[in-house]
Chains A and B, each alone.
Chain A
Amino acid sequence: MLSYIGKRILMFIPTLIIISFLIFFIIQLPPGDYVTSYVAAMAAEGEIFTAEQIADLRVQFGLDDPWFIQYFNWVKGIVTEGDFGYSFEYGRDVWDVIMDRLYLTLAVSFIILIFQYGVSLPIGIYCANHQYSAGDYVLSFFGFIGTATPNFLLAIIIMYYIYVKTGNVYLGLFSTEMLQNGMRWEYVPEFLGRCAIPLIVIGTSGTCGIIRTVRAQMLDEQARQYTLCARAKGCSEWTITYKYCLRAALNPVVSGLAGSLRTIFSGSTVSAIVMNLAIQGPVLLAALKSQDMYLAGTIVLIQAVLVLVGTLLSDIALAWLDPRIRFAERS
Chain B
Amino acid sequence: MALFRKKTASDESYYMASQWTLMWRKLQKHKLAKFSLVILAILYLGALFADFFAPYGLEEFSALYKNTAPTKIYWQDEDGSFSRPYVYGLKKVNDRKTFKVIITEDTTKKYYIDLFAEGMEYKLFGVIPSNTHLFGLVDEAGNPARDANGKALARIHLFGADSTGACIFSRVLFGARVSLTIPFVSAAISFVLGILLGGISGYFGGVVDNVIQRIIEVLSAIPSIPLWMALSAAIPPDIPVSSMYLYITIILSFIGWTGLARVVRGKFISLRKEDYVTAARLAGVSDLKIITKHLVPGFLSYLIVNLTLGIPGSILGETSMSYLGLGMKAPATSWGVLLKETEDLVSVAQCPWKMIPLIFVIVTVLAFNFLGDGLRDAADPYK
Q: Which residues of A contact B (CB under 8 A)?
A: 11, 14-15, 18-19, 22-23, 26-27, 29-31, 131-132, 137, 140-141, 144-145, 147-153, 156-157, 160, 208-209, 212-213, 215-217, 219-220, 223-224, 251-252, 254-256, 258-259, 262, 269-270, 284-285, 288-289, 291, 296, 300, 303-304, 307-308, 311, 314, 318, 322, 324-325, 329-330
Contacts and interface: CB of A to CB of B under 8 A. Distances in A.
Contacts of B345: 156, 160
B38 to A, nearest CB: 16
Interface stretch (B16-24, B50-58, B152-160, B366-374): B366-374
Interface string B194-219: 00000000000110011001101110
Contacts of A322: 270
**Most B-side CB within 10 Å, residue of A30, A137, A148:** A148
Nearest to A147: B365
B366 A152 contact: no
B136 to A, nearest CB: 31
Interface stretch (B83-91, B94-102, B118-126, B223-231): B223-231
A116 to B, nearest CB: 15
Contact of B376 (A14, A216, A300): A216
Given A19-B218, A212-B373, A216-B302, A29 B226 contact: yes
A29 B217 contact: no
B233 A18 contact: no
A288 B223 contact: yes
Given A30-B229, A256-B259, A153 B358 contact: yes
B64 interface: no
A150 B218 contact: no
Identify whether the interface residues of A are mostly helix, strand, loop, or mixed: helix
Nearest to B224: A26
Nearest to A330: B205
Identify whether the interface residues of B are mostly helix, strand, loop, or mixed: helix
B230 A30 contact: yes
Given A14-B214, A256-B259, 15 more contacts: A15-B214, A22-B222, A148-B365, A148-B366, A150-B320, A153-B342, A153-B343, A160-B348, A216-B304, A216-B376, A251-B267, A256-B262, A270-B323, A311-B213, A318-B269
A220 B342 CA distance: 41
Contacts, number: 192
B183 interface: no
Given A156-B348, A160-B345, A23 B222 contact: yes
A27 B173 CA distance: 37
Nearest to A312: B217
B314 interface: no
Given A148-B362, A152-B320, A330-B269, A29 B223 contact: no
Contact of A150 (B216, B220, B319): B319
Contacts of B362: 145, 148-149
Contacts of A254: 266
A271 B309 CA distance: 20
B382 interface: yes
Nearest to B261: A255
B225 A19 contact: no
B328 to A, nearest CB: 14
A208 B380 CA distance: 20
A153 B356 CA distance: 12
B320 A270 contact: yes
A304 B267 CA distance: 24
B180 to A, nearest CB: 15
Interface string B337-354: 001001111001100000
B266 A330 contact: no
A258 B30 CA distance: 33
B183 to A, nearest CB: 13
A300 B221 contact: yes
Contacts of A137: 32
B176 interface: no
A229 to B, nearest CB: 14
Contacts of A22: 218, 221-222
A132 B30 contact: yes
A217 B383 CA distance: 14
Contact of A19 (B217, B366, B372): B217
A60 B242 CA distance: 40
Contacts of B206: 330
